Structures are given as structure tokens and as C-alpha cells.
């Protein structure tokens, strides 16, 4: 029995549910990132109120601070952070790209240098599974080796082969206790390598398959081509997860290719920097244009920011350095993406999803709004 129950289709797009130890979440699904076991600025009840059903936390960062022992001793991530829904943890593979010069890697393990105190942490594929299991995650990820856009062919091939070997080792220590273990596709930006990687990972018997190593600086058309190639080799019955995607047009384009799950720091990071998401594109609320604008961010949105506060007020809060600005726009941006996912599900169910994608692709910023 698979974790994914597909309830509707529109072309390659699917809508359904995924069952975990801490409940069911609907797909397509966007997962806000709680790197440090918190969605920045928000109480868990507020996150839930935005329509969020599943969160992502970063096992690498949590292993460094506060430490696996602390989280495990507190009863696991759910009790520690006060979130009772599903949690997916990332293994730390992405940090091999994002941290770059402060990591080292060989066939046995990855070695990370802590950004907090400079200490070194060596993580094998087996360690990554053990860390995430002890943290109490519902969906755990294999340790993988992504490469950035522009990497040489030899580097890409070696990283994909290493990812496959690490996936086998991760699968061998999976506790089979109801947690879902996802393998990760690599292969850089070479279609043949991607296809082979997706086929290899899919054959290992994972509970789901992630599409890794994309959205790392490549052109949009390359990203979508590599996504389509990857999805073509992932069995229909398995959940498909694109790691690190968070703009409206990209999300809808990937859903149209058959992807079910997404995460990204973009909506919360943009919120802290004064940018609100709308169906027409982003609004920079720090812009003097909104000094006397008494409209809500989006008149169609019923979030806590839009139901009571104006663009002018939010601009004032950002100008004054008030923390409330971060909170309100974060609530809005997460609500916006939850509504986007709900709209995609509804469009898939009634067969109109392809039209939804066509209307949303290529949006530009609506300034002046």
C-alpha cells in the first residue's frame, strides 16, 4: 500500500492525499520551511491557520543546535516545537551546495563545518536516517549529493553515482516504523543522467521520490525540462517532491508536470524583507508608492493581514522596524500559497488546471498595484 492516494487528474497533474504517522495532508502541497523547528515569526497555530498541513525542518541545523539528544529528550520534534501535523526533515544534502567551501565529501560521508561555532560534523547516509528518526520526523530524506548549475560532466556523474550508493545504504537502515523514506534524484542538468537517476532511485522501493539538484541557478526552461525528464521515470503511485521551489508560476508549472510536494524559504524570507505575494505578482511594501494606500494587500484574501490592515500601515511598520510587519506579511504569504495549492487542487478536480497554469505563467510584478 502506498502513502499517496490520487483522487483526481488533469493531464499529468494529480490531486490527492498522503498519509503519515501524524495525519493526512492534501496534495499538491506546499511546505513552509521551519529550519530551526519554527516558521520564523509565527506561532504553530498561526501557521495552521494559514492553511498549512505539513512543515519542513532541517535535520542538519537541528543536529547542530540544539542537538538531537535535546529534541529526542523533549519527546521529538512535534512536542518540542508544538506542531501536531506531519513533518518532513531534509537530510542536509542541500547544504553541500549552499555552504560550499565549508563542507567536504567522500564516498563514505559528508563533513560539515558548523556555521555557529566552527565545529565539524561528519554524517554518513546511515547517520542521516538515524538523526531524522530520532528527531521524530514523519517523512525522512536520504542523504544525497547535489551539484550546482555549471558543474562539469565528471562531477555530475560522480555525484549521481554517490547519491545512488547512499540511497541504497539509507534504504538498508530504514526503521520501517511507519515513517516514509524518500529517495532523491540527481543527475545535474543532463537529461540522460537524470533519467537514469530517476529510474535507479525509483527501483529501490522508497515511499516517495524527490527531484533534487534543481532550482540551483539554471534557466527556468532547463529546470522544467529536467523536472519533466525526472518525473517520466518515477512510478505513478509514488509521491513526487520538488525540493526548493516557491514562486507561483514555477509551482503551477511543476504541478502540471505531475509533482505533488514542494518547499521553499522564499515566501517567509520575502515577507521579512517587505514583499507580499499576490495572484498578480509581488508587492514591495517598503515602496513609497504605498505610503497612503489604504487597500489591503489582496482584497480577495481573508488572512489576518488583509482582513484588518492596509498597505499603508504595513509600509509604516516596516519603516519603523516593527516585528509585527514580519508576522503579518509572513501570515499573508503562507496563506497565499495555501490558497494557490487549494486552487490547483480544485482546478485538477474539475479538469480546468491547464488553463490555470496558462493564466499564471510569466507573471510580472504588478507595481504600482
Map out the domains of the chain with their CATH numbers: 4-264 (3.20.20.105), 271-359 (no CATH)
pLDDT one-digit tens code per residue, 160-180: 999 999 999 999 999 999 999
pTM, entire model? 0.95
Chain position carrying cell 555549471: 150
Could you tell me where the DSSP H helices lie in the chain? 44-49, 59-64, 68-73, 77-81, 95-98, 125-135, 153-172, 191-202, 220-231, 248-256, 266-272, 311-319, 323-350, 353-360
pLDDT one-digit tens code per residue, 100-157: 555 788 999 988 878 788 888 899 999 999 999 999 999 999 999 999 899 999 999 9
Q: Which of 90, 144, 196, 260 is catalytic?
A: 90
Looking at residues 298-325, what average pLDDT do you find? 98
Q: Which of 144, 263, 293, 298 is catalytic?
A: 263
Q: Reply yes or no on whether the pLDDT at 220 is more than 50.
A: yes
Residue 59 CA, distance from chain mean position: 14
Chain position carrying cell 518532513: 88
CA atoms within a 13 Å half-sphere pointing along the CA-CB vector of 232? 11
Is 207 noted as a catalytic residue in this protein? no
Asked whether 325 and 315 are in contact (CB, 8 A), the reply is no
Asked whether 109 and 92 are in contact (CB, 8 A), the reply is no
**CA 263 to CA 334: how far, in whole Å?**
11
Q: Reply yes or no on whether the pLDDT at 2 is more than 90.
A: no
Tell me what pLDDT residue 366 has. 42
**CA 239 to CA 261: how far, in whole Å?**
8
Rounded to 5°, the CA angle 79-82-87 comes to 80
Q: Reply yes or no on whether the pLDDT at 360 is more than 90.
A: no
Chain position carrying cell 566552527: 118
Q: Which of 21-30, 105-114, 352-361 has the highest mean pLDDT?
A: 21-30
Tell me what pLDDT residue 187 has. 97
Tell me what pLDDT residue 316 has. 98
Using 50, 70 and 90 to split pLDDT, how confident is the model at 368? very low
Rounded to 5°, the CA angle 227-55-285 comes to 85
Is 263 noted as a catalytic residue in this protein? yes
Amino acid at each position: 500500500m502506498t502513502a499517496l492516494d490520487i483522487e483526481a487528474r488533469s493531464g499529468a497533474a494529480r490531486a490527492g492525499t498522503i498519509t503519515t504517522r501524524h495525519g493526512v495532508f492534501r496534495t499538491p502541497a506546499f511546505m513552509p520551511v521551519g529550519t530551526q523547528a519554527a516558521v520564523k515569526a509565527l506561532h504553530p497555530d498561526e501557521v495552521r491557520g494559514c492553511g498549512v498541513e505539513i512543515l519542513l525542518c532541517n535535520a542538519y541545523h537541528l543536529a547542530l543546535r540544539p542537538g538531537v539528544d535535546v529534541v529526542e529528550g523533549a519527546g521529538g520534534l512535534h512536542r518540542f516545537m508544538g506542531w501536531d501535523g506531519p513533518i518532513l526533515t531534509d537530510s542536509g544534502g542541500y547544504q553541500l551546495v549552499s555552504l560550499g567551501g565549508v563542507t567536504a565529501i567522500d564516498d563514505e560521508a559528508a563533513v560539515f563545518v558548523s556555521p555557529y561555532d566552527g565545529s565539524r560534523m561528519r554524517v554518513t547516509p546511515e547517520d542521516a536516517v538515524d538523526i531524522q528518526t530520532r528527531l521524530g520526523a514523519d517523512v525522512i530524506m536520504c542523504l544525497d549529493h547535489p551539484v550546482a548549475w555549471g558543474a562539469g560532466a565528471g562531477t555530475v556523474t560522480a555525484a549521481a553515482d554517490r547519491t545512488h550508493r547512499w540511497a541504497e545504504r539509507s534504504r538498508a537502515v530504514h526503521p520501517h516504523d511507519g515513517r516514509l523514506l524518500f529517495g532523491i534524484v540527481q543527475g545535474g542538468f543532463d537529461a540522460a543522467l537524470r533519467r537514469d537517476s530517476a529510474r535507479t532511485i525509483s527501483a529501490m522501493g522508497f515511499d516517495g521520490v524527490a527531484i533534487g539538484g534543481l532550482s540551483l541557478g539554471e534557466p527556468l526552461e532547463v529546470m522544467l525540462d529536467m523536472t519533466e525528464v525526472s518525473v517520466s521515470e518515477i512510478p505513478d503511485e509514488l509521491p513526487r517532491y520538488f525540493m526548493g521551489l516557491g514562486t507561483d508560476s514555477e509551482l503551477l508549472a511543476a504541478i502540471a508536470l505531475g509533482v505533488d510536494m514542494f518547499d521553499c524559504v522564499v515566501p517567509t524570507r520575502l515577507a521579512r524583507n517587505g514583499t507580499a505575494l499576490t495572484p498578480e505578482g509581488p508587492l514591495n511594501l517598503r515602496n513609497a508608492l504605498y505610503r497612503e494606500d489604504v487597500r489591503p494587500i489582496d482584497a480577495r484574501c481573508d488572512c489576518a493581514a488583509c482582513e484588518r490592515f492596509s498597505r499603508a500601515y504595513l509600509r509604516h511598520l516596516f519603516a519603523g522596524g516593527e516585528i509585527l510587519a514580519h508576522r503579518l506579511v509572513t501570515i499573508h504569504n503562507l496563506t497565499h500559497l495555501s490558497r494557490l495549492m487549494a486552487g490547483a487542487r480544485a482546478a485538477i478536480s474539475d479538469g480546468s488546471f491547464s488553463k490555470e497554469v496558462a493564466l499564471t505563467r510569466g507573471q510580472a510584478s504588478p507595481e504600482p498595484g
